[in-house]
């Protein structure tokens, strides 16, 4: 035991001292080896998508760190409709009682997302607002009414697509007064990090052909943190997830958030161009050729 601790400490020192990439590669392996022997008691793999409990003696507060923890993968590659429905329902249950970030203490009802488990298109917004917080359903307020129109204009219906958000609980500017209107804000980086695995699992389970990221928060969370919505929209990107493997490649396109379109109706024509790109791929009528 003492030997393995000494070995770990030595390897960790070498790891910290390594400046060059070559050095990192040669020192990282011993660190991994030392860390993995003796093997720590692993938490039982979760079948519900629940996070493994933290070790009781852990002094690291990881609740706000962007986590790439290797949790029990959801086997998504061979899922039929019933499997998908079950996996999404289990995930929704986990989300309903999630307290990974402070939003869990102030939300009224969590909003996991909903829709067709075999959807070709999945829309992803930033997070629930006032109305969603009360109904537990995504995009049911004013922005949602516009999203419904966008979906219909594409030749689809709400029943044919899947709709979810990056954050599953209502981010409020004044969490002490959830009854206030105009109390919405975008989820912050820590809240997004805590929630990320939920949307990733939903995408992997539904495995749509196309994800439409609505607005900069969703676009940056799912495509690239480093770019603005303006730089990301108008083109397809191959989706890469942090915590789950996709059963097949998924393309993602970013466009304006319906709430932004309500404030800036002159952006609608650009949003329509983005949506037509998806329609074109799916062979839906009305797509620009
Ligand atoms: N805005 C979002 O991003 N998501 C919702 O569900 C509602 C409004």
Looking at residue 48, its pLDDT comes to 35
The stretch 263-270 carries a mean pLDDT of 98
Check pocket membership of 127 for ligand 1, CB cut-off 6 A.
Answer: yes
The structural domains of the chain, ordered by start, are 70-282 (3.40.470.10)
Residue 9: predicted pLDDT = 41
Distance 127 CA to ligand 1 centre (A): 5
Report whether residue 126 contacts ligand 1, using a CB cutoff of 6 Å: yes
Alpha-carbon dihedral 196, 197, 198, 199, rounded to 10 degrees: 60
Strands of the sheet with 251-255, listed across from one edge: 114-115, 162-165, 121-125, 210-214, 251-255, 236-238
Q: How far apart are the first and last CA of the chain?
A: 68
**Residue whose CA is closest, atom 7 of ligand 1?**
139
What's the pLDDT tens digit per position in 177-217? 989 999 999 999 999 999 999 999 999 999 999 999 999 99
Cα(72) to ligand 1 centroid in Å equals: 29
Q: What are phi and psi of 67, to 5 degrees?
A: -100, 135
Residues 6+ apart with CB under 8 A from 239: 203, 211, 222, 223, 246, 249, 250, 251, 252
Q: Region 83-109: what's the mean pLDDT?
A: 97
Mutate to test the pocket of ligand 1, among 110, 122, 127, 131 (most ligand atoms within 8 A of CB): 127
* 241-253 per-position pLDDT tens digit: 999 999 999 999 9
Q: Taking all residues of the chain, what is their mean pLDDT, rounded to a whole number?
A: 80
| Banded model confidence at residue 59, pLDDT cuts 50, 70, 90 | very low
20 pLDDT more than 80: no
Q: How confident is the model at residue 286 (pLDDT cuts 50, 70, 90)?
A: confident
């Amino acid at each position: 035991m003492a030997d393995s601790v000494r070995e770990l400490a030595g390897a960790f020192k070498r790891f910290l001292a390594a400046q060059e990439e070559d050095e990192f590669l040669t020192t990282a392996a011993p660190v991994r080896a030392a860390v993995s022997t003796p093997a720590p008691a692993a938490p039982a793999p979760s079948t519900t998508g629940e996070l493994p409990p933290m070790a009781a003696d852990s002094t690291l507060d990881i609740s706000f760190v962007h986590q790439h923890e290797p949790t029990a993968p959801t086997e998504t590659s061979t899922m039929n409709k019933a499997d998908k429905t079950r996996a999404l329902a289990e995930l929704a249950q986990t989300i309903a009682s999630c307290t990974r970030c402070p939003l869990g203490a102030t939300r009224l009802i969590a909003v996991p997302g909903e829709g067709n488990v075999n959807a070709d298109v999945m829309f992803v917004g930033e997070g629930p607002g006032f109305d969603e917080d009360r109904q537990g359903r995504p995009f049911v307020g004013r922005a949602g009414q516009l999203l419904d129109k966008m979906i219909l204009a594409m030749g689809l219906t709400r029943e044919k697509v899947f709709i979810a958000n990056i954050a599953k609980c209502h981010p409020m500017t004044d969490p002490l007064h959830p009854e206030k209107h105009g109390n919405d804000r975008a989820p912050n980086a820590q809240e997004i990090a805590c929630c990320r695995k939920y949307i990733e699992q939903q995408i992997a389970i539904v495995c749509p052909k196309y994800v439409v990221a609505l607005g900069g928060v969703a676009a940056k969370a799912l495509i690239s943190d480093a770019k603005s919505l303006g730089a990301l929209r108008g083109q397809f990107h191959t989706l890469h997830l942090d915590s789950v493997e996709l059963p097949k490649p998924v393309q993602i396109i970013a466009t304006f958030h319906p709430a932004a379109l309500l404030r800036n109706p002159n952006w609608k024509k650009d949003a329509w161009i983005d949506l037509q790109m998806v329609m074109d791929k799916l062979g839906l009528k009305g797509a620009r050729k």
